[in-house]
Chains A and B, each alone.
Chain A
């Protein structure tokens, strides 16, 4: 069985895309994951958290 997606998502098989920057080589996939993580971290810091009820 091939890695067929159930939904019509992009097929991640085939040749990988890589970014080269000096000694650094990183896959687009890994870069996307890292950028999303940083975005989530920043969002967690700045997005207001619901105030608690029953403060005492």
Chain B
């Protein structure tokens, strides 16, 4: 039996806080409340799965650089994978959003889950936008010269230059995926921590005295 660790040990304190916030059987439970019984619940995991396909297809595009897909049919196919996984990602995410809104899923101190979800949505739109900018074709030329007007009009264009291909590419493949990725992780951990929201007007459960 080890002696109790000193309260100043950062590792022990971090581990203690992590484990008490997310005990393993709550992080990956094999049971859910009985009301988790609807196909609407699969759209969160479908969104996550689509995000993974987006990241993998994007990673393959990164292997050969941003011009590969114009000259190679294999590259063009990978670009198509990236486009369609993004379309699926956005579609599943919006359906997930519709479901969560009509479930008022922010109830029971779950406002942060809603907020992080909304931020994921906004972040994804921004990431997709930078993706369209770095296609390096006519679409990119038009989108950049149009979008600059909106961004310039509120001063954002002064530091976020949509006609700067190099800058937009790095935002698209480094900064935004990292930021969105962190928010996605927080969002999912929030769901695990708070549990799936009970139905609206769910009756309090009468628990027998001897059960903890």
Contact = CB atoms under 8 A, between A and B. Distances in A.
| Main SS at interface, chain B | helix
B40 interface: yes
A52 interface: yes
Contacts, number: 42
Given A33-B87, A33-B91, A45 B40 contact: yes
A14 to B, nearest CB: 14
A1 B74 CA distance: 10
Interface in B26-79: 31-32, 34, 37-43, 70-73, 76-77
Give the interface size class of chain B.
Answer: 20 to 34
Contacts of B160: none
B98 interface: yes
| Main SS at interface, chain A | loop
A4 B79 CA distance: 13
Interface string A1-17: 10110100000000000
B18 interface: no
Interface residues of A, number: 18
Interface of B: 31-32, 34, 37-43, 70-73, 76-77, 87, 91, 94-95, 98-99
30 contacts: A1-B71, A1-B72, A1-B73, A1-B76, A3-B76, A4-B73, A6-B77, A33-B91, A36-B91, A37-B91, A37-B94, A37-B95, A40-B91, A40-B95, A41-B99, A43-B39, A44-B39, A44-B43, A44-B95, A44-B99, A45-B40, A47-B39, A49-B37, A49-B38, A49-B41, A51-B37, A52-B34, A52-B37, A54-B31, A55-B34
